[in-house]
Structure 1
Amino acid sequence: GDWAEHGSVDKTGFIIFAGSPDGVMDEFHNPYAYNLLRLDTQGGHVTERITGHVLSGIEFPSINTTIDQITYNVSSNFDPALTPDGNILFSSVQANGSRAGGKGRVMLCVDNWDGAYPRPIYGNCEDEIGGACGRSQAKITYGDRKIVFVESPYTNWGVGQLAAVSWDAPYNKTYEKLSKDEGGLYRSPYPLPDDRMLVSYAARGDFGIYWFDSKNGRAGEMVYSDPEWNDHQPAPIYVKYKPRWINTFTAGKNFGVTTVTYQPFDQVKVEGYPHSWATWICFDTTLTDLPVGPYAHQRAKATKQGDVKAVRIVEGTQCVEPDSSRFKVGAGKHLLGGCRSSSNSGTAFQQRRIIGYQNVEDDGSVVTSQTADTPYCMQNLDERGMAVQTALAWAYLRPYHGRICSGCHDGSYRGRAFQNTHAKALYNWWY
């Protein structure tokens, strides 16, 4: 190929990529747990131009770079791609508890470029088409605004068939199978502004780059195929859309006051943690669409406003065991833990520890501040302190940020309207 340099650009933005620390295992005990990181190509100056200062990140002055982790999942987040409105679309392995019979799910998720507001889009619900299949390499088409992704029979596959849901209404009614050729495998879809799409495809043998024939649902004209190599990830060079910047960081000289909550954190500075806390609020912990049942992913009983007395905030910790001889997978499989248990977690599906508790108002609302950059889930507690419902996904907060939750629902954020609820917890937002 032609590897010669063809011109230059005046400035560049961020680079979002997936990386895994060494020696970490995910919730299935795979030897990796990827999360998304943001690389500042100008040593922190890109963030500084947007927010007024470099808020967080690890500086690498020798290569003029600042890197900040923006997602905090216990399992993997991977395959980031830019959306037309400036968000980051990616695949996220959701394996908290007994989701999908303990198999977990791979959902399509969207987050701000700073990691401030992750939102499930498709694949996280029990009744969504595809079940516990793999969903990866998602991109958004231009004309009809579809999310095109690779749907695999197994969560750890990177090849499969092409499927799509509407970006504006990602529900079962907009789901469709794009590829009709069940004999071949697809990878790396790449939509173009003229409504064509490049794919990596192989009927057998090695993969090549093809134009996708959307009318017939199969690979069409071949673009390039090296018989000695598998060819993946076509990325045409063209003028892309200019996304809007979503500034959710602290801005300007008011360092210590958030743009979301306007909450002073001077007391945290005194303790020596300049940006380690954040705030979240739930308008109604009893607002849910999950059924009542005996399983961990269901509600233990129906609740109304006033029944939930407190929430327990549970941290998920990644499994790190440098001595493999001391680690055994499936140690609690004869008990409640199943095959995903281990000698570290006993009967639990993953390692956990309690961050703390917070009282719930009699209208079901709750607000609290806690450590940021920490994966956590919540449990609703009744008057006896017993858990009546446990969250099915790991959440996380970024430093100084505020998160809003309408209730303990399960589903997509696209098309969901937040009710204008004047919750009692709002009065405690400042403390």
Structure 2
Amino acid sequence: MHTSTNKAPFPLILVASTLALLWGCESSVETGVVDDLEPDPVVLDIPMAYINRPIPVDEDGVRITDDVLMPQTFMPGAVLYLKDRAASTAAEIDITSQAWPEGALYDVKDVSASYDGERLVFAMRAPEIEDADEEDQPKWNIWEYDIPSATLRRVINDDIQAEVGHDVSPRYLPGVERRIVFASTRQTRSRAVLLDDNKPQFSALDDSRNEESFVLHAMDNDGTNIEQLTYNQSHDFQPTLLPDGRIFYSRWDRMTGNNQLSFYAVDPYGMHQTLEYGYHSQDTGTDDSEAFFVRPQQLPDGRIFGILRNRVSTEYGGDMVAIDYENYISASTPVYNVAGTSGQESVSVLPINTDDSLSANGIFHSSSPLFDGTGRMIVSWSRCRVINPTNNLPASCTEEFLADPTIVPADPLYGIYIYNSAERTQQPVLLPIEGRMLVEPLLLIPRTADNLIPPPVANVDYDATLADEGLGSLHIKSVYDFDGTDSIGIEGIRDPANWATTPPPARFLRLVKAVSIPSDEVLDFPNTAFGRSAANGMREILGYVPIEPDGSVMAKVPADVAFTFDIVSAQGKRIFPRHNNWLQLRPGEQRDCNGCHTRASEMPHGRIAAEAPSANPGAPTSDAPFPNTDPNTLSLVQMGETMAQAYARIVGVRTPSVDLVYDDDWTDPAVQAKQPSFAYSYADLLTGSPTSPGCGTGASPWSAQCRVTIHYVDHIQPLWDLSRPDDPVAPTVDNQCTSCHTNVDAMAAAMVPAAQLDLRAEPSPDQQAHFVGYRELLFNDVEQEIVNGALVDRLVEVVDANGDPVYQRDADGNLILDGNGDPIPVPPVTVPVQASMSTNGAGNSNRFFNVFTNAGATVDHRGFLTDAELKLIAEWIDLGAQYYNNPFAVPVN
């Protein structure tokens, strides 16, 4: 148990004090504790917390970089202090060192206070264990200090439970229970889902597969009832509270080429997750450089502010910037029907650099509003300093120094000040100390609690029946809605009378789940397991549901997993770009989306209240069917309902299936014949199904535990090896793929593989971990030919457009001559063969599919593969054409 008591609690007393400081004064040379700014007598006299830490340096004395995306970084030597008032002469106590042996070097950060100002909560990590491996070192834990009783305790008392993962960035939630939200790598619920998937429990790596992901959790003040709130595959961290009671936090979107740090919001139960601000705002630093917000906090006026700085910094700070998240969704994009040009502004009096360069007006490490009605802040600020080359001592920046490209920055010198931008003053509280950083100052002013959001109950946003099944539901109003614009003519495409000439292109929604990737300590598997590209990680399919004719879709979705979706054709091929953000639903949650957007879109999206109204007009009237739809089945629609809403209300929310199953539920047979039904089923495969038991077999229904896990080795390669007699009774020929697409004939003589495509299930000479067939399908190759009975790369002479030889030339363009004075031909070259498939998806793999579907193709293979087999291949390619989609299925030596 980690509890200790100090017998001198600090009273909350307000008295006058005399500290003041005018902004911008300088000294030319600095040594030791130096600050020459003048005092001013206007500071509230209340308790203050702050951290005193050394400048982090390595064993050679070089400053260690601080990376925003490495929340677990350990910089030992920090101490959390509490002063009885915000004055340099006030009594103070070290409230954290009591937890450790004398002289121990621990770390502490992320200090926050309760609404009543009587408790501090923060992250603290124990000292390093000498000679222990990194995985055996202590984790970051959440600690609390109770000011009235002067008691320090670790919130999670149990040693084993406390060390399950790194816990950082704690904040008190509103309510008498004093629940705490925090970021953690413990991934509590995600670990339980791994057990359901017959995998060991572990904390998954982020999408870049470098570090374990931090995601949001909440727990009671005694460390019990830990609940995972978010399910991003990269970091969800740095939470703060909004006045409406939602949790506002930073999310690292890292999926498939993304690398965005944006602000999201979620309620205290993990529901109603929305993109709030900043997805396209990372070029807002100095000179349009990349910049990241750290330590977001709520301002008294409702805006959010934080320190805008370089991602990787050796100055450890940047500018104080406020964002108007209510009226903007990015720096230059207002929400729908709001005019404006900028969603964020500096709250600093003078310009501050954010790109980690020398900033003439200093730099801010951290700040916190006073919430006293004055608009003031308490800040950690360092003046600009360089090493004076004449005496090798720190000196304040001058124009001459800043203009010198050889000048060397000095260590920052962070002190603590009361900052008043309205009066352009900066009052000293604690003067800086050479070699130390006084950071994360916090005045313990009691303030009104934010709104308390009650637990979800059965209403329009919550379905108790779905919750019991571990499901939520997703409603997209129309996949043809792009940023509020009707991209197809929704009213026309939803009318069955038009389908003979203009059938709906979007037929199914494919639900796709992220596959958690373990660290090397859990499972050390080779990178070749990802196949041609690791950009998409590993993925599984959760199922398909039909998209209604107006482009709307409502589907049951497994809760508590990171998922995305594809819009696919009747053949199961993705027809829109990949959705490049992970979504989540909590049990019972019902989520609405307007439509789609591209990755490059800067229109408001991901937050319905910020977007243009839906482009889908919905039903034109109530108690009547949509035009030309069946009046006997789906007639009692309500005005404004999408087809998916009407179907869900009358029939029920659609349950996914792992098969592509289509029945025309909408056409009025009195108008025209219903569209033909079809089903492309895994049950029709002769090579085995990639489904788990939860996907439904026989009388067993589809469930939240359904997983479709496709491996090239187990599910795609067997298609090429399958015997395919032209007649099952009296075969005359076997259309087995590898009977032609191989390197030897029936007599074991070398042969050129048909279409220069070798599909053998043998280790490739290019990469022993992959079959030849996989490499031939997905990597560019060269033509081969038989020479003297051997299969060799084909070489051809290099000729120009007229067919004449091309000769070698030197750097000046002159011909290179041989000993006889004749020009030397360019050596023969190989003939390239384009890969048949692309990891960009089935729609970019027409060189493969055309031979099975197009009568005009050079080779006519129509009928060689079944519809179910082509569907399996298409969905595997759409997932990213991975060699394996489960790391625990990978052979490990």
Q: TM-score, normalised by structure 2?
A: 0.38
Contact 2:475 2:593 in 1 (8 A): yes
- 2:596 matches 1:390: no
1:176 to 337, 340, 345: 345
The structure whose residues are more often strand, as a share, is 1
Q: Secondary structure at the match of 1:148?
A: strand
Structure 1 residues 401 and 229: alpha-carbon distance in aligned structure 2, compared to 1, 3 A threshold: same
- In the alignment, residue 403 of structure 1 is paired with which amino acid? R
1:117 aligns with 2:272: yes
Structure 2 CA distance for aligned equivalents of residues 126 and 349 of structure 1: 24
Q: Deviations over 1:226-264 (max 9, x none)?
A: 6264233223222222322223524xxxxxx56624463
Q: Determine if the alignment matches structure 1 residue 424 to structure 2 residue 643.
A: yes
CA distance in 2, matches of 1:105, 1:392: 11
| TM-superposed deviation, 1:222 | 2.9
Q: Distance in 1 between matches of 2:647 and 2:540?
A: 26
Secondary structure (helix, strand or coil) at the match of 1:97 reads: helix
By how many angstroms is 1:5 displaced? 5.5
Q: CA–CA distance in 2 between the matches of 1:132 and 1:366?
A: 38
C-alpha contact (below 8 Å) 1:345/1:351 kept by paired residues:
no
Q: What corresponds to 1:339 in structure 2?
A: none
2:394 aligned partner = none
- Identify which of 56, 74, 78 aligns with 2:237: 78
Cα pair 2:378 2:417 within 8 Å, conserved: yes
| Secondary structure of the structure 1 residue equivalent to 2:441 | coil
- Cα root mean square deviation, aligned: 3.3
The CA distance in 1 between the partners of 2:586 and 2:290, in whole Å, is 29
Residue of structure 2 in register with 1:190 after alignment: 368
Between structures 1 and 2, the one with greater helix share: 2
Post-superposition offset of 1:425:
0.7
Partner of 2:162: none
Decide whether aligned partners of structure 1 residues 178 and 30 sit closer, same or farther in structure 2, where only a CA change above 3 A counts.
farther
Decide whether the 8 Å contact of 2:477 with 2:551 is kept in 1.
Answer: yes
Please list every run of 5 or more consecutive structure 1 residues that lacks an aligned counterpart in the other structure.
42-62, 251-256, 269-273, 292-301, 332-341
Asked whether 1:88 is paired with 2:247, we answer yes
Structure 1 counterpart of 2:474, which letter? Answer: W
Hey, what's the Cα distance between the residues in 1 that align with 2:526 and 2:418?
47
Aligned residue in 1 for 2:418: 211
User: Does the residue aligned with 1:390 lie in a helix, a strand or coil?
Assistant: coil
Shift of 1:135: 2.3
Q: Does residue 419 of structure 2 align to residue 278 of structure 1?
A: no
Which of 122, 136, 157 is equivalent to 2:294?
136
Aligned mates of 1:399, 1:325 — CA distance in 2: 30
CA displacement at 1:358 relative to structure 2: 1.5
How much has 1:185 moved relative to structure 2? 3.5
2:479 is paired with a residue whose SS is coil
Residue 235 of structure 1 corresponds to 442
Deviation of residue 106 (structure 1)? 0.1
- CA displacement 1:298-351 (0-9 Å, x = unmatched): xxxx6554332111111123321334894567x6xxxxxxxxxx8589443423
| 1:160 maps onto 2:348 in alignment | no
CA contact (8 A) 1:90 1:137 kept: no
Aligned-partner SS, 1:400: coil
1:247, 1:309 → 2: CA distance?
A: 38
Counterpart pick for 2:224 among 65, 71, 76: 65
Which gives a bigger RCO, structure 1 or 2 (Cα 8 Å, sep 6+)?
Answer: 1
Question: Residues 241 and 382 of structure 1: is their aligned pair in 2 closer, same or farther, counting only changes over 3 Å?
Answer: farther
> Taking structure 1 as reference, are residues 370 and 95 closer, same or farther at Cα in structure 2, changes over 3 Å only?
same
Instruction: Sort the Cα spacing of 1:6 and 1:261 in 2 relative to 1 into closer, same or farther, 3 A.
Output: closer
Please list every run of 5 or more consecutive structure 2 residues that lacks an aligned counterpart in the other structure. 1-91, 96-144, 150-174, 187-201, 333-340, 354-358, 384-410, 491-503, 618-639, 654-893
C-alpha distance in 1 between matches for 2:429 and 2:179: 30
Distance in 2 between residues matched to 1:308 and 1:155, nearest whole Å: 43
Which residue of structure 2 lines up, in the alignment, with residue 407 of structure 1?
A: 595
TM-score, normalising length: structure 1: 0.75
1:281, 1:263 → 2: CA distance? Answer: 17
Q: Deviations over 1:273-292 (max 9, x none)?
A: x452111111111212399x
Distance 2:532 2:297 in 1: 37
Distance 1:384 1:168 in 2: 42
Aligned partners of 2:210 and 2:319: how far apart in 1? 24
1:147 aligned to which of 295, 304, 310: 304
Q: Equivalents in 2 of 1:352, 1:126: separation in Å?
A: 29
Amino acid aligned to 2:430: Y
The one of 380, 395, 400 equivalent to 2:567 is 380
Which secondary structure state, in structure 1, belongs to the residue aligned with residue 271 of structure 2? coil
Report the identity percentage. Answer: 20
In structure 2, the residue corresponding to 1:232 is in which secondary structure? strand
Whole-angstrom distance in 2 between the partners of 1:156 and 1:352: 34
User: Structure 1 315/132 Cα, relative in aligned 2: closer, same or farther at 3 Å?
Assistant: farther
Q: Counterparts of 1:17-56 in structure 2 under 5 Å?
A: 17-21=182-186, 24-41=204-221
Q: 2:465 aligns with which of 249, 264, 273?
A: 264
The answer as to whether partners of 1:248 and 1:259 remain within 8 angstroms in 2 is no
* 8 Å Cα contact 1:26-1:33 kept in structure 2: yes
Closer/same/farther in 2, CA of residues 320 and 233 from structure 1, 3 Å limit:
same
Describe the SS at the equivalent of 1:425: helix
* Greater displacement, 157-166 / 305-314: 157-166
CA contact (8 A) 1:84 1:241 kept: no
Do structure 1's residue 370 and structure 2's residue 557 form an aligned pair?
Answer: yes
User: What is the CA-CA distance between 1:225 and the residue it aligns to?
Assistant: 4.8
Greater C-alpha radius of gyration: 2
